[in-house]
């Protein structure tokens, strides 16, 4: 009896590390100290010492049941982007610069090429966020998970000077809400999506005219990373009063998280184009509109509160970053609730 007989292939683990080394190294920032393979990752704080009051920010998340689609489609090089996005977008919401990222992959069996494909996606997400992939772990769990399945999670560490934190405390009635377009469903609500479409390999390959592609390709589109967009907005001198990453809980749960007491939001549903995937989900599943906005991002992945005088500059900066933005609502007096009109 040995470890491999028990279900853990150490040699496969070594091969996975060799296959992913190039992807990991491509994310390194100048602050990364040392190479790949140490017991911990090292990151220099040299640049941070110039901040008046540096504040560390952190975010952790996974991909959720969207990962089931990757299994069915045998496509594993995009879910890593989702994992990074879910973490770095949260850090960026507070005005932070994501510095480094670590991932954790739990698998039933280590297939080196599959693990390398996952990490390739993680590395791509890190490059998109200018964040170093500083380390990670791949854990083989025979008997606990099916051999062909895995789970993926990670966490991001970022920094911001306290004076530049986005806290929402200065939001007031009359401020404008600007939304940045999502790429689709992103990484939330997939338990409902899988139920609506009875997701299997055959259904994912079905072509929909209104989507302009197969269901699987549209649903597996990775979550947008808004780090550069938010940086572009700030570089134009815009003060972002508040910021909300629209994830699980949709509009109703996430948008109020940036609001101070005594304020509320009024959002116009017709202020931006809703991607056709959401109409298809609602129609196919016979889902009430309120539930749609309480589950999905409905085409808005990030929303920001700004002074009305900064609205045009904000929209221009969003376009300059390669994203699409819209004025979707305004701040009103109220009890931190969202009203859709």
Q: Of 137, 164, 191, which one is at a domain's C-terminal end?
A: 164
User: What's the pLDDT tens digit per position in 247-301?
Assistant: 999 999 999 999 999 999 999 999 999 999 999 999 999 999 999 999 999 999 9
| Domain count across the chain | 2
| DSSP-assigned letter for residue 149 | -
User: What's the pLDDT tens digit per position in 233-251?
Assistant: 999 999 999 999 999 999 9
Q: The CATH number of the domain where 157 resides is what? A: 3.30.1330.10
What is the model's pLDDT at position 3? 58
- What backbone phi and psi angles, to 5 degrees, belong to 316? -65, -40
Residues 296 and 197 in one domain: yes
Q: The CATH number of the domain where 288 resides is what? A: 3.90.650.10
Indicate whether 81 belongs to any domain.
yes
d(CA 141, CA 110): 9
For 169, other C-beta atoms within 10 Å of its C-beta total 12
pLDDT band at 19 (very low <50, low <70, confident <90, very high): confident
Tokens standing for residue 298: 């409905």
Average pLDDT of 12-38? 81
Residues 93 and 183 in one domain: no
Indicate whether 3 belongs to any domain.
no
| DSSP-assigned letter for residue 142 | B
Tokens standing for residue 178: 């600007």
β-bridge mates for residue 104, sequence order:
137, 153
Average pLDDT, the chain: 94
Indicate whether 1 belongs to any domain.
no
What is the model's pLDDT at position 34? 82
Residues 156 and 225 in one domain: no
Residues 160 and 181 in one domain: no
Q: What is the pTM of this model?
A: 0.94
Find, among 182, 180, 178, 179, the residue nearest to 277 by Cα: 182
CB 38 within 8 A of CB 102: no
| pLDDT for 23 beyond 90 | no
| DSSP-assigned letter for residue 223 | P
Tokens standing for residue 91: 């850090």
Q: What percent of the chain has pLDDT over 90?
A: 87
Tokens standing for residue 122: 């993680």
Residues 20 and 157 in one domain: yes
Residues 118 and 213 in one domain: no
Residues 26 and 54 in one domain: yes
Residues 137 and 189 in one domain: no
Residues 210 and 299 in one domain: yes
Indicate whether 65 belongs to any domain.
yes
CB 157 within 8 A of CB 317: no
Sign of CA dihedral 141, 145, 147, 149: negative
Residues 210 and 79 in one domain: no
Indicate whether 2 belongs to any domain.
no
Q: What percent of the chain has pLDDT over 70?
A: 96
For 307, other C-beta atoms within 10 Å of its C-beta total 18
Long-range contacts of 252-256 (CB under 8 A, 24+ apart): 252/290, 252/293, 252/294, 252/338, 253/294, 255/177, 255/303, 255/338, 256/336, 256/337, 256/338
What is the model's pLDDT at position 325? 98
What is the model's pLDDT at position 24? 82
Residue 260, SS3? coil
What is the model's pLDDT at position 14? 64
pLDDT band at 232 (very low <50, low <70, confident <90, very high): very high
Residues 216 and 285 in one domain: yes
Find, among 265, 262, 269, the residue nearest to 254 by Cα: 265
CA dist list (Å): 144 to 108, 109, 116, 167, 300 = 7, 10, 22, 42, 37
Indicate whether 169 belongs to any domain.
no
Query: Comparing 18-32, 116-130, 137-151, which segment has the lowest mean pLDDT?
Result: 18-32
Q: Where are the alpha helices (DSSP H) in the chain?
A: 10-25, 67-73, 79-93, 112-128, 190-196, 201-204, 215-219, 227-235, 250-254, 276-285, 289-293, 311-320
Residues 148 and 243 in one domain: no
Indicate whether 291 belongs to any domain.
yes
Q: Of 120, 143, 164, which one is at a domain's C-terminal end?
A: 164
- Ramachandran class of 230: left when φ > 0, alpha when ψ lies in -120 to 50, beta otherwise: alpha
Q: Of 164, 197, 218, which one is at a domain's C-terminal end?
A: 164
More confident: 8 or 79: 79
Q: Which domain holds residue 33?
A: 10-164
| pLDDT for 59 beyond 70 | yes
d(CA 323, CA 341): 25
Indicate whether 99 belongs to any domain.
yes
Tokens standing for residue 103: 């991932």
CA dist list (Å): 148 to 11, 18, 67, 69, 121 = 18, 21, 12, 13, 18
């Amino acid at each position: 009896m040995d470890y491999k007989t028990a279900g853990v292939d150490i040699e496969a683990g070594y091969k996975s590390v060799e296959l992913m080394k190039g992807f990991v190294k491509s994310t390194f920032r100048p602050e990364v100290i040392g190479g790949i393979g140490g017991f911990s990752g090292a990151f220099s704080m040299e640049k941070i010492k110039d901040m008046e009051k540096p504040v560390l920010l952190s975010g952790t998340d996974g991909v959720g049941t969207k990962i089931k689609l990757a299994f069915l489609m045998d496509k594993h090089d995009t879910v890593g982007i989702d994992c990074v996005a879910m973490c770095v977008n949260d850090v960026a919401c507070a005005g932070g610069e994501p510095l480094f990222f670590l991932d954790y992959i739990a698998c039933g069996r280590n297939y080196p090429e599959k693990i390398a494909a996952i990490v390739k996606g993680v590395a791509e997400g890190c490059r998109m966020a200018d964040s170093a992939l500083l380390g990670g772990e791949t854990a083989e769990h025979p008997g606990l998970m099916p051999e062909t399945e895995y789970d993926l999670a990670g966490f991001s560490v970022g920094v911001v000077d306290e004076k530049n934190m986005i806290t929402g405390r200065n939001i007031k009635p009359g401020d404008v809400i600007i939304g940045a377009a999502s790429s689709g469903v992103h990484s939330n609500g997939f338990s409902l999506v899988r139920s609506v479409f009875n997701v299997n390999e055959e259904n994912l390959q079905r072509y929909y005219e209104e989507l302009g592609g197969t269901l699987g390709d549209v649903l597996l589109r990775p979550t947008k990373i808004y780090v550069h967009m938010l940086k572009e907005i700030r570089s134009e001198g815009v003060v972002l009063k508040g910021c909300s990453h629209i994830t699980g809980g949709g509009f109703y749960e996430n948008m109020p998280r940036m609001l101070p007491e005594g304020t509320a939001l009024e959002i116009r549903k017709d202020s931006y184009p809703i991607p056709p995937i959401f109409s298809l989900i609602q129609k196919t599943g016979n889902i009430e509109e309120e539930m749609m906005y309480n589950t999905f991002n409905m085409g808005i992945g990030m929303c920001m509160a700004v002074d009305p005088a900064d609205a045009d500059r904000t929209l221009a900066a969003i376009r300059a970053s390669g994203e699409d933005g819209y004025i979707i609502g305004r701040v009103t007096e109220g009890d931190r609730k969202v009203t859709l009109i």
